[in-house]
Amino acid sequence: MTNAGTYQGIAGINTGDVVYFDFTITNTGNDPTQFFIPGTATIAGGTLEGIQIIAVDPDGTGAASQATVAVNVPSTGDNTINLLGTTNGYIPVNGTVKVRVAVKVTETVVNNSITVTLGNTPVPPNPSSQNQPYTANGNLDVYTVDLPNGTTIPSSYASIPTVSQVAEASGNPANGDSTNHRQEASANQSIALAATPNTSGYKSVQLTTDNDSTNSVTSGDKLTWRVTYANTGSVDISNFQITDALPAGVTLSTALAAANITVNATQATAPSANTSYNGTGNNNLFAAGVTFKAGGVITIDIPVNVNAALPNGTILSNQPTGNGSNLPTVGVKTDNIDNTTTGLPTGVTPLTNSILQTQNSSIDPTTVIVGTPTVVGYKSVKLTTDQGATGLDPGDTVTWTVIYKNTGTVDVPNFQITDTLPSGVTKSGTPTVVTASGGGQTSPTINSSYDGVSNTNLFTSGITLKAGGTIVVNIPVTINSGVSGTKSNQATGKGNNLTTAGINTDNVDSDTGITEVPAASIKQTQTGTIDPTVINIPATTPTPNLSGYKSVKLTNDLDSSSSITTGDTVTWTVTYINTGTVDVSNFQITDILPSGLTKSGSINITTNNTQGTAPTANSSYDGTGNNGLLQTPITFKAGGIITVTIPVTINAGASGTKSNQATANGGNISATNTDNVDSTTTGLPTGVTIPSGSVTQTQNPSIDPTTFTIIAPQVSGSKSVKLTTDADTSNSVTPGDTVTWTIIYKNSGTASASNFQIADALPTGVTKTGTPTVSVSGVGQTTPTVDTNYNGNGNNNLFSTTVPLVAGGVIAVKIPVTVNANQVGDKVNQAVGTGTGITAVNTDNVDSTSTLPSDVSAQIETGSIAQTQLASVDATKISIPEVQGFKSVKLTNDVDTNNVVTANDELTWTIVYKNTSNVPISNFQITDFLDTNVTRTGANPISVNVKIAGVSQTAPTINSAYTGSNPNANLIDASTPYTLPANAVITINVPVKIISATPANTVLSNQSIATASNLPSIGIKTDNVDSNPSTTLPADVTIPSDSIDQTENGGTIDPTTVTTVVPPVSGVPNLLLVKRITAINGLNITGFVDDTTSSQASDDDNANWPTPKNTYLPGAINLSNIKPGDQLEYTIYYLSTGTQDATNVTICDLIPSNTTFLGTAFNGLTADTGGLPQADMGIAFANSNTSLPTVPTVYMTNVADGDRGFFYAPGTTPPSICKKPVSFTTMTAADNTNGLVMVNVVTSPTTLPKATGSGSPTNSYGYIRFKVKVN
């Protein structure tokens, strides 16, 4: 046990001390375990402070293997592995766990014991208290918890030779309780309460003289510190003395004298004051130590002056110390108190109007803050939920907004807002902190128990209102029922250095100029004084009070069945009563009849005597559009009753439950619906009567429609389909397979559907392959005979004669069919059921996953083909795999750079197949025999990708042995069969080279064919396409740009062709352009980025670009994390790559959208010849016939002058030489949305020489450059 007092630590155990009782729990068995440690203990003479595991010793020796821990045990207790982890929580044989129980002493009788028992078996010395079978006693037990079988010894224990290496044994322990085989133990400890002195000290401070009348402590003011000690122990304290060092910033104002010291009756004689005390060295308050009697109280008042020129915010902190021969050597310090402090010992009295302190559970100095905080408070109020009429009414919610600002230079400690709500309103939600800002202001925690009545503090505890800080709190309240008149409210803010009365809020509104006041706050009257915030609730105005009722009765039972059936007449009775004190103006009743019913006679209206003459009925009322029951609106009198009867006939074919509710409207009421009633309804207003024999209603507290059920058949149909014979084992429906359609009809109504028949026309492409079979369920349901002539192709009735479909009956028919050869795509099928008393009923598509009545789902075979089920009634579908193929060709390497297809050029055939069905295509293969005039080029491998809606999928493995001729014409590796997913697009690019011997005008023809397990055996060929197909391609099928034009015939599937031509005799100029982002915010982007994806991907690969490309083609293609305000530099590199020099070269570039051209980017640099000297320069140019440029050689202006550059502002028309990308048509002003940079690189007769090698000649290469700012 360890004595650890939380207060003064006086020798011995005292009331209020915290005592640690330590217990050691040992595994005395022969199997490792874990312990359950309880979260509580049995305690006498104290209260539990907490339970903690403080040490773990795996060998129990207490030697170096012991680990010190500090793990709190929850109140519910827990296992050691959960608490300590898998190593420390594992207790080997002989291992120990040390548990500390912290107890706060409450015992007050000297020599009485403080006792703690951990565990709940009999206490020592009875040996039966150790290692006994477990008996449950709540959360008090200490017991073993067997480890799971297979638990291994922690690796760190294997290296400790003294730790038992006995591993967890399989199975249950041999001892313990019969359920979980646990052993438990307990132990107890006690210690006696000592007879000792027990003194406590307190200090308060008072502003005694406020020289500047600021209600705050400032230089020149006088303070009084009051020091009080109380000996609450049972023993006198000898040689007792108090020392008090005054804080810097104050000076003793008058010497201590006898008048400064008072004592209680028990102490009797006051100590002599130390008249030499100054608090700056001579700090003893008494002339000599005294005997401080048990029960005695000594109080000393110390007057001080606040020194001049102290800065605002200076904290004066003071804490005396009491010492005595039998007190701890550290002495006993005072705690800070004020007039609000409670629970003080008898005789301890703070100074009147003492300065507020921040009081904690710790022993703290008494403090004073020098300076004057300037705190102002405001309060507004806003209507936030208007439940009734416009304006404030009972039931509305208003929100009070409390605002406090500290506009001074001194913080306010311990700041708290109190707000007592006015009578007649109730807090309707937890207050919220809207803002806590300025001066480093922290947000307070709202007091969740605040109610504005008995608990009025808005914060759980006081906070510091920082200098420059603002706190805004919203308080929502509801106006109580029946409340009216003026309600005023004013909050109060208090703090340590504020006036005792605090700072009240002043009333403000949206027009006051306080920014924190919510818009549309209620207008206040501001007088220049500090006033409460008010709301005015008008007195309640008398209103009508309307209620409506509706019943229904069978009034003409046509078939004498005593049930409501088709052809019968029912009568709705609508009654409204006005139990209010005010008439309803412009009163009208509307009633929309449910479907299946037709008004069958005149409506009739009666009234009570109060209402007087009955209003005229609307003779044109039909309930389907003309819905007003009264000819014209009337005045519905207070106390009046109006009853309307409406006869209706049940239409043929109507079934199910019919629901109806009338609605009344008026000039001074909201819409009022009728509630359902019947002859048994009680509690109706006087004068409201319901016809006897009315149909029984289910009546709830809510306002509900009136209903009745028509006794009639209610037939629904379902249809599923299953693959029953998979001829090609492809797991999908293909030609030659057998599928079975299952048709199910159920009558869930209350009457039979006579003369019931099912017709089913089979879709084209399938053939009935066997006789349909029929099964039925339901009481009394007869089995129909199948029509042997049924074929689904003209003879579509399934039954030879009709049968009744009884109420609750189910008829199911299965039709086996075979899929004909060469069929692809979707096949849909929908049966129709007919009978007397029902309209034709189509089947809806269902499958094994559909949620259906059990007697219907029982007929659907497991593994039925999945259907897309919608709210509508839809046909049942099977999908036979279908693909479409396309092939294009593109000139990808114009070896002789003559821009035409000639021998030795390289082409790329692009093969695209789309699976347009919802069925995967298994063992998918593409065969492609190349034209004999081309050969595969090994330099460019075959590429493949597969996508669904643009998202990449797993692609097949390309046949590495593919040559385009037998036996290697298959493109997909057959050793890894591939399944093309449903709706997927596969694209394969096959690069080829035209052999050198190919003469001009040779037609190169190519057509692929796709085959698969579940495709037609003849395969699917590709059709020729180009970049501008004449027909719409399937979704997600894309053709490479610049593909060679094809002659596309809409009705045929044609090979893809390309014709070689005679190469031109003379040379052809050509210019390559590469664009990059070369700097961001002035930081150059270094390194070369190779374009591998765009249609111009090969342009930066030309061998004649200068090298290294890091120097001559640096820059990025794409940048991320660009933000508004960033500056980007664009560079367009050019290279003359033709077979002839180029002239009249002009480069035009549109400024990117969402950016602004920086026209002054190069001001002050070397201007091009002919540029105006004072013009802004936003264009850079690099070209040299002597060396390869790495920086611009000249800079150009943005205006039309003598240099070669010009910037066309947005909306202006570019020159005709600037063409649109791709189409190369002339640009218009509409195309120039963001500005355009144009540079005349060379003009005839000057030429741009063709490149003959990498970077040679030097002036075959160059670039233009400009900068933009991101908008």
β-pair partners for 78 = 37
Query: Which has the closest alpha carbon to 415: 439, 449, 382?
Result: 439
CATH 2.60.40.740 fits 883-1059, yes or no: yes
Average pLDDT over residues 832-859: 92
* 635 burial via Cβ count (<10 Å: 0-12, 13-18, 19+): middle
Mean of the pLDDT values across residues 425-442? 94
Hunting for tokens 């959360």 — which residue is that? 139
Average pLDDT over residues 1096-1123: 94
Q: Can you tell me the mean pLDDT for 169-198?
A: 82
| Mean pLDDT in residue range 913-922 | 89
Structure confidence at residue 1066 as a pLDDT band (50, 70, 90): low
Please, are residues 412 and 465 in contact by the beta-carbon 8 Å criterion? yes
1178, 1129 Cβ separation under 8 angstroms = no
Report the predicted TM-score, pTM, of the whole model to 2 decimal places.
0.37
Give mean pLDDT, residues 930-943.
89
CA distances to 196, 677, 678, 701 from 698, in Å: 78, 8, 9, 10
Q: Flag whether pLDDT at 591 surpasses 60.
A: yes
CA dist 233 to 113, 213, 268, 271, 715, Å?
A: 17, 43, 17, 20, 93
- The CB-side HSE value for 935 (13 A sphere, CA atoms) comes to 9
The architecture in CATH of the region 715-855 reads: Sandwich (2.60)
Q: Determine the average pLDDT of the residues in 634-658.
A: 93
Residue 4 has pLDDT above 90, yes or no: no
The pLDDT-based confidence of 402 (bands split at 50, 70, 90) is very high
What would be the CATH architecture of the domain defined by 199-369? Sandwich (2.60)
List the beta strands (DSSP E) in 792-950: 803-805, 810-819, 825-829, 832-835, 838-845, 876-880, 883-893, 906-915, 925-928, 934-936, 943-948
> Pseudo-torsion of CA 62, 68, 70, 76, nearest 10°?
-40
Residue 1167 clears pLDDT 90, i.e. is over it = no
Mean pLDDT (whole number) for 1034-1039: 92
pLDDT at 1015 over 60: yes
In the chain, CATH 2.60.40.740 sits at 715-855, 883-1059
Write out the two tokens for 217: 């402590």
pLDDT score recorded for residue 1270: 96
Distance, in Å, from the CA atom of 935 to the CA atom of 747, rounded to the nearest integer, reads 70
pLDDT-derived band at 1063, boundaries 50, 70, 90: low
Q: Read out DSSP for 1207-1266? A: EE-TTSPPPTT-B-TTT-PBP-TTT-SS-EEEEEEEEEEEEEPPP-BTTBSGGGEEEEEE
- Of 516, 535, 433, the C-alpha closest to 477 is 535
Cα 614-620-624 angle, rounded to 5 deg: 115
Alpha helices in 703-776 (DSSP H): none
What was the pLDDT predicted at 182? 87
- Mean pLDDT value across residues 733-741: 91
Q: Is the pLDDT of residue 916 over 60?
A: yes
- Closest alpha carbon to 470 in 434, 494, 446: 434
Measured CA to CA, the distance from residue 187 to residue 123 in angstroms comes to: 6
Residue 493 has pLDDT above 90, yes or no: yes
Where are the domain boundaries for CATH 2.60.40.10 in the chain?
Answer: 199-369, 375-537, 566-710
Is the CB of residue 617 less than 8 Å from the CB of residue 603? yes
Reading the block at residue 281, the tokens are 């060295």
Closest CA to 936 of 960, 913, 912, 902: 960
Q: What is the pLDDT of residue 712?
A: 85
Q: Are the CB atoms for 103 and 2 separated by under 8 Å? A: no
pLDDT band at residue 572 using 50, 70 and 90 as cut-offs: very high
Task: Name the residue type at position 387.
Answer: Q
**In whole angstroms, what is the distance from residue 1226 CA to residue 1214 CA?**
9
629: helix, strand or coil: coil
Q: 1065 or 715, which is more confident?
A: 715
- Given a cut of 60, is residue 247 above it in pLDDT? yes
Helices (H) and strands (E) in the chain, counts: 4, 78
pLDDT > 70 fraction of the chain, expressed in percent and rounded: 97
Whether residue 128 has pLDDT greater than 70: no
Q: What is the mean pLDDT of residues 1108-1125?
A: 94
- Name the CATH superfamily, with its identifier, for domain 375-537: Immunoglobulins (2.60.40.10)
The token duo for 209 is 């003289």
- pLDDT of 633 > 90? The answer is yes
Whether 237 and 231 have beta carbons less than 8 Å apart is answered as yes
- What six digits make up the tokens of 521? 């706050």
Non-local (6+) Cβ contacts of 305 within 8 A are 220, 221, 222, 223, 250, 251, 252, 253
% of the chain surpassing 90 pLDDT = 71
* Token reading at 886: 């396309």
Q: How many CB atoms lie within 10 A of CB 468?
A: 16
- For residue 508, pLDDT over 50 is answered with yes
Taking every pair of Cα atoms in the chain, the longest distance, rounded to a whole number of angstroms, is: 135
1027 burial level (CB within 10 Å; 0-12, 13-18, 19+): middle
d(CA 1261, CA 1112): 9
In terms of DSSP H, where are the helices of 978-1124? Answer: 1109-1112
Residue 3 pLDDT exceeds 50: no
Reported as a pLDDT band with limits 50, 70 and 90, residue 1 is: very low
- In 637-728, DSSP assigns E strands to 641-650, 656-660, 663-666, 669-676, 706-710, 715-725
pLDDT at 595: 94
pLDDT score at 821:
86
Residues found in the chain: 1271
CA angle 593, 599, 601 (to 5 degrees): 145
Cα separations in angstroms, 564 against 593, 680, 693, 706, 1102: 16, 20, 13, 15, 89
Which amino acid appears at position 347 of this protein? G
Tell me the pLDDT of the chain averaged across its residues: 91
DSSP letter (8 states) at residue 860: S
Please tell me the CATH code under which domain 566-710 is placed: 2.60.40.10
The whole-number average pLDDT for the span 1011-1029 is 87
Residue 377 above 50 pLDDT?
A: yes
CA 167 – CA 183 distance, rounded (Å): 19
Instruction: Choose the weakest-confidence range: 271-275, 535-539, 1184-1188.
Output: 535-539
Cα–Cα distance between 327 and 14 in angstroms, integer?
13
Specify the higher pLDDT residue, 899 or 377.
Answer: 377
According to DSSP, the β-strands at 425-427 and 470-479 are antiparallel
CA distances from 796 to 547, 762, 763, 774, 802 (A): 57, 8, 12, 15, 14
**pLDDT for position 831:** 97
| The pLDDT value given to residue 125 | 46
> Given phi > 0 = left and psi -120 to 50 = alpha, else beta, which region is 468?
left
Say if residues 342 and 249 touch (Cβ distance below 8 Å). Answer: no
- For 62-121, the pLDDT digits (tens) are 777 888 999 999 999 999 999 999 999 999 999 999 999 999 999 888 788 999 999 988
Rounded Cα distance, 272 and 277, in Å = 12
| Cross-strand bridge partners of residue 332 | 322
Burial tier of 1220 (Cβ tally within 10 Å: 0-12, 13-18, 19+): middle
Lookup: tokens for 370: 């020098």
What is the per-residue pLDDT for 621? 96
pLDDT at 438 over 70: yes
Mean pLDDT value across residues 871-892: 92
Across 253-257, 726-730, 923-927, 1002-1006, least confident range: 726-730
Residue with tokens 């061998």: 1103
Alpha carbon 317 to its chain's center: 50
Would you state the structure tokens that stand for residue 264, as one six-digit string?
Answer: 């209680």
Q: What is the mean pLDDT of residues 960-971?
A: 94
Which position has the higher pLDDT, 1017 or 1127? 1127
pLDDT, residue 6, reads: 36
What separation, in Å, do the N-terminal and C-terminal C-alpha atoms of the chain show?
A: 73
pLDDT in tens, 32-42: 999 999 999 99
The confidence score (pLDDT) of residue 1206 equals: 95
Of 174, 170, 179, whose CA–CA distance to 135 is shortest? 179
